[in-house]
C-alpha cells in the first residue's frame, strides 16, 4: 500500500453515532459502515443529499471525529498507518505533508491575515520561511486574493474570500492526500473558475472531495461515490453515477 500503485487511502466499515445528551439522549448515526478507497493520484468525489454523512466521513479521515468503529489506513511512502489508532502527536505530524483538510470554514487564529495563515500552512509542509511566503503569495494571487487583503484579519474577510484563503492554505505546497469539503460553494462564477482550475492542476495529489455540483464532479473526479443515510449506496464513474442515480442526485446537481 505504498506509491507502487495501491490505494493511498483505505476506509473500512467506518461507523459514527452521536448521542444528543441535551435531547433526551437521542442518537444520530452519521456513518453506518462506510468503506472506500482512494487510489494514488486519484480524485474521488463524494455526493449525496444534505445530512448523508459526507462531512463526517472527511472529519473521521482527518480525525477531527474519532469513529466508533472501523479503520482509516493511509499509505505513506514506506509503510501504511492506521489513523484511528495513531497517537495524537504522530497524527499531528501527518497533518502536514501527508494529509490536508479544507473544511467548509476557515479556522485562522485571531489577528492572523491571509498571507500569514497560508504561509504557516506551507511551513507545516516543510518549506523554509522565504519559500513558504513565496508559495503563499502565489496561491493567494492565483485565487484572486490581492495584496491589499494579505494583512487584514481573516475574521473580517467576506465568505467567498475566506473560502479562497482556506483553499489556498490547503493547496499551498500540497500534501499527498487532500480532503476538500465543498471547496467552492461560496464563490461567484469567476472565482469559482479560478478555484476549479487550481484544483484541476494539482498534479499527483490524491483527492477525496465533497461537491454538491454534478458538473464539478464530472469535470474534476475520476470516480464518485454517493452517500445516503451514512452509507455508500453507489460508486462508479461520474457519468455512470449520474445516469443511475439521476433522481436522487437532482437535489445536489
Residue among 55 and 163 whose Cβ is closer to ligand ATP: 55
Residue among 52 and 221 whose Cβ is closer to ligand ATP: 52
Q: 245 in helix, strand or coil?
A: coil
Residue among 105 and 128 whose Cβ is closer to ligand ATP: 105
Interatomic CA distance for residues 70 and 36, integer angstroms: 12
Interatomic CA distance for residues 9 and 2, integer angstroms: 10
Shortest separation between residue 66's beta carbon and ligand ATP, angstroms: 12
Residue among 10 and 56 whose Cβ is closer to ligand ATP: 56
Shortest separation between residue 225's beta carbon and ligand ATP, angstroms: 12
Residues that bind ligand ATP (CB under 6 A): 18, 28, 30, 48, 50-56
Shortest separation between residue 56's beta carbon and ligand ATP, angstroms: 3
Which residues make Cβ contacts (< 8 Å) with residue 138, sequence separation at least 6?
none
- 232: part of which helix (H) or strand (E)? strand 231-236
Burial class (CB in 10 A: 0-12, 13-18, 19+), 239: exposed
Of 77, 99, 102, 104, nearest in space to 86 by CA: 99
Shortest separation between residue 150's beta carbon and ligand ATP, angstroms: 30
Amino acid at each position: 500500500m505504498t506509491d507502487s500503485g495501491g490505494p493511498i487511502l483505505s476506509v473500512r466499515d467506518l461507523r459514527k453515532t452521536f448521542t444528543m445528551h441535551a435531547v433526551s439522549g437521542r442518537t444520530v448515526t452519521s456513518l453506518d459502515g462506510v468503506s472506500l478507497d482512494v487510489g494514488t493520484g486519484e480524485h474521488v468525489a463524494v455526493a449525496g443529499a444534505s445530512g448523508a454523512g459526507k462531512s463526517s466521513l472527511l472529519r473521521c479521515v482527518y480525525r477531527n471525529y474519532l469513529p466508533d468503529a472501523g479503520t482509516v489506513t493511509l499509505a505513506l511512502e514506506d509503510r501504511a498507518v492506521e489513523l484511528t489508532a495513531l497517537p495524537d502527536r504522530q497524527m499531528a505530524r501527518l497533518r502536514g505533508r501527508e494529509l490536508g483538510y479544507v473544511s467548509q470554514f476557515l479556522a485562522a487564529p485571531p489577528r492572523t491575515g491571509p498571507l500569514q495563515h497560508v504561509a504557516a500552512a506551507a511551513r507545516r509542509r516543510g518549506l523554509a520561511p522565504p519559500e513558504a511566503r513565496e508559495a503563499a503569495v502565489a496561491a493567494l494571487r492565483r485565487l484572486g486574493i490581492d495584496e491589499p487583503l494579505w494583512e487584514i484579519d481573516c475574521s473580517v474577510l467576506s465568505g467567498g474570500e475566506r473560502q479562497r484563503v482556506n483553499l489556498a492554505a490547503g493547496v499551498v505546497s500540497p500534501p499527498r492526500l487532500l480532503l476538500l469539503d465543498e471547496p467552492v460553494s461560496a464563490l461567484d462564477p469567476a472565482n469559482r473558475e479560478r478555484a476549479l482550475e487550481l484544483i484541476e492542476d494539482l498534479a499527483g495529489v490524491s483527492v477525496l472531495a465533497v461537491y454538491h455540483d454534478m458538473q464539478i464532479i464530472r469535470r474534476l473526479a475520476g470516480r464518485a461515490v454517493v452517500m445516503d443515510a451514512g452509507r455508500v449506496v453507489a460508486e462508479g464513474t461520474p457519468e455512470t453515477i449520474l445516469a443511475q442515480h439521476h433522481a436522487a442526485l437532482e437535489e445536489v446537481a
